[in-house]
Structure formats: C-alpha cells, structure tokens
C-alpha cells in the first residue's frame, strides 16, 4: 500500500509540474529586465536590478504553459558592474545545473550592456550541449510596452527546445536569435540593438517556436578545452583603444599594474601607431605580456602579418573577435598557456 501511495504522489507531482514540458531553470543576475522607473514612461534614468526573480517569473504566467520553470537569484547587479568573479560564480552554477537530469535548459536574465561578454565567456566554459539562453530588456519592467516579459517568454521556449541543443550559448531578444560569439550591442537604446553585423542572426522566434537558418562553425561549450571548475581568479587582461594622436601611457600603465595580456583595439585592420605605441607593445611583450591585435572597427578579419609584422613582434591577432571578446578568450587562453602560437591557434578555433 505504501508503494502504491508513493507512486500516486509521484504522479500527482509530475502532473502538477506539467507532464511533457521541458524543465527550464531561470538564473537572474539583474539588469534592465529587472529594473524599475519612476513612472510608466520612464525609459531613461531608471534603476536597474531592483526586481527579484520571483516577481519576474510571476509577471509572465504564460511561462507555465511552455515549460516547468524554476528561478534562482544568482546575484543582482547592473551589468556594467559585471566582473570576473561574477562570471566564475555564474559559470560554475550553470555547469552544476546542466549536469542534472532534471534540467533541460537554462535562461539567464542579464543587463544588456555586457550581455555579449557574459554570453561569450559562457560559450567557452559551459560543459554541456543543453541550451543556455541569455536574455535582457531595453526597457525597465515598469515601462509602457516593456520588452522584458516577451523576451523572457521566448527565451524559456528557446531554452527548452530541441532545436537549440548543441547551438552554443544563445542571446535572444526582440524575436531574434544570435550566437554568443558574434552578437554585439550596436545601439544605445532601441529594442533591436542586438545584432550580428555582416554574418547575421542565427534565426528567429515566431509563433512560440524557434527557427534556425544557420549556426556558428567555431568550437564552443561541450567541445571547448577551457575549464573554470577549479579557478577562483582569471588573469588580468586589459584593452588599449587606438585613436589618432594616441600615446603609450595606457600600455605602460597596464603593464605596471600587472597585466598578463593586452588587447590592442587598433584602427582599421588593427593598425599600430608608430612610433608612439608599437615600441611600448614590444617592450610589454619582452616582459612576458601577451599582445593581441584586434580592431575598433567591429567587423572583418584582423589579418595576421597585415598591418603589423606579427611573427616578428610575437603578437597574436584576434581573427573576427571584437576587443571585448578578444579579452575574454585571451584570459581563458592564459589559464592554459603563455605560448603565443598556441594562443593564436585558439583564436582561430574559437
């Protein structure tokens, strides 16, 4: 009798959770999607990261129709305050959850300012093919036509879908699906700010269903060689921005502050100012600092031995990664090696 009773209780619990629906965990980190304004028309000057995960989920009761959803507040910040410690905490929690049989996918609510960086970091360190979807909003939760609820609804559907399995970490806002490696925020305030210039979206959300038209060919997630499970810190890597009439002050300051790597966001094809900056980068490299040439342009391949003699200088080029993403890959690369040939291989692989 006790066995039968236990079976009936188990069946009741399964039915209450929604039989046949995917199990999606929503991890909240703050941002505009959790923000509030002084009035319904406040879309500038609001306060980010004030609404908790339970309130976010309760605001979208339709979630219960598409997934068995649970929420967890990992931390609560505006995303301009994102740092390496938060990344490590988030990555470890994501990997722990994805290892569980009762979790089919994860949604992470996040501020939009650094979504592209967090998503790429996770793309390199998540150890599962299960979907991980990062979502945010451009308008606070109190605004007229707030975009957070529909973005969250779509993200949960995407994270619970078979179509998203093995696609790497995804960024989904405004009915559009982007790859973590390629997406960038390209407008300060409009709802369609997240784009993948030139290469384009992976697909769209329409009618409560994801439609994919392409996928990234670079290694990610379960196929990545990077592992943060035993890391408590990441190497210091900084970015130096290229501009007309620039000087070596920033390079020297970062080296003096202990940088293990520097990403130079050069003009054009990652060009280096001579004689102002190139000698400073050479000196930094001789001190063991790994130098990566990227570009401030935002599109295109930074050509090795193009605008600089990279072989001669022992520099690395970022391929198509923008400076902020090149910094992330260089940080993780430096946890494995300081060999520039190996690091260059990683930039061509990821």
Kindly list the catalytic residues: 32, 112
Query: Which H or E run contains 327?
Result: helix 323-334
- Residue 32 has what DSSP assignment? G
70-76 long-range Cβ contacts below 8 angstroms, 24+ apart: 70/23, 70/24, 70/25, 70/26, 71/25, 71/26, 71/27, 71/28, 72/25, 72/26, 72/27, 72/28, 73/28, 74/27, 74/28, 74/29, 75/29, 75/30, 76/28, 76/29, 76/30, 76/34, 76/49, 76/52
Distance (Å, rounded) from C-alpha 123 to C-alpha 205? 21
Backbone φ and ψ for 105, nearest 5 degrees, come out as: -170, 165
Q: Which residues pair with 110 in a beta bridge?
A: none
CB 100 within 8 Å of CB 128 = no
Instruction: Round to whole Å and give the CA distance between 174 and 172.
Output: 7
| Segment (H or E) for 70 | strand 68-77
- Positive/negative CA dihedral, 190, 192, 194, 199: negative
User: Encoding tokens for residue 97?
Assistant: 């959850």
10 Å Cβ neighbour count for 138? 24
The values of phi and psi at residue 152, to 5°, are -65, -40
């Amino acid at each position: 009798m006790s066995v039968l009773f236990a079976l009936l209780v188990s069946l009741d619990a399964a039915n209450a959770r929604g039989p046949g629906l995917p199990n999606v965990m929503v991890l909240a980190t703050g941002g505009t999607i959790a923000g509030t304004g002084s009035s319904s028309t406040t879309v500038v000057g609001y306060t980010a990261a004030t609404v908790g995960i339970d309130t976010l989920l309760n605001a979208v009761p339709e979630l219960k129709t598409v997934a068995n959803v649970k929420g967890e507040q990992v931390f609560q910040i505006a995303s301009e305050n994102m740092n390496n410690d938060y990344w490590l905490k988030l990555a470890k929690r994501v990997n722990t959850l994805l290892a569980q049989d009762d979790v089919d996918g994860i949604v992470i609510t996040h501020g939009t300012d650094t979504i592209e960086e967090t998503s790429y970091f996770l793309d390199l360190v998540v150890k599962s093919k299960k979907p991980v979807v990062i979502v945010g909003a451009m308008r606070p939760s109190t605004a007229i036509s707030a975009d957070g609820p529909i973005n969250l609804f779509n993200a949960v559907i995407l994270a619970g879908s078979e179509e998203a399995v093995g696609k790497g970490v995804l960024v989904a806002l405004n009915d559009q699906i982007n790859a973590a490696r390629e997406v960038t925020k390209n407008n300060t305030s409009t709802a369609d700010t997240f784009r993948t210039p030139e290469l384009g979206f992976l697909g769209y959300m329409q009618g409560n269903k994801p439609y994919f038209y392409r996928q990234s060919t670079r290694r990610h997630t379960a196929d990545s060689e990077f592992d943060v499970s035993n890391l408590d810190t990441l190497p210091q890597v900084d970015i130096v921005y290229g501009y007309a009439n620039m000087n070596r002050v920033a390079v020297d300051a970062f080296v003096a502050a202990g940088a293990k790597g520097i990403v130079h966001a050069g003009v054009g094809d990652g060009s280096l100012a001579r004689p102002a900056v190139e000698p400073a980068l050479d000196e930094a490299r001789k001190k063991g600092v790994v130098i990566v040439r990227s570009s401030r342009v935002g599109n295109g391949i930074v050509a090795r031995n193009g605008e600089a003699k990279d072989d001669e200088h022992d520099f690395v080029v970022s391929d198509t990664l923008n400076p902020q993403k090149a910094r992330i890959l260089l940080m993780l690369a430096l946890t494995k090696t300081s060999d520039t040939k190996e690091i260059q291989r990683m930039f061509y692989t990821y």
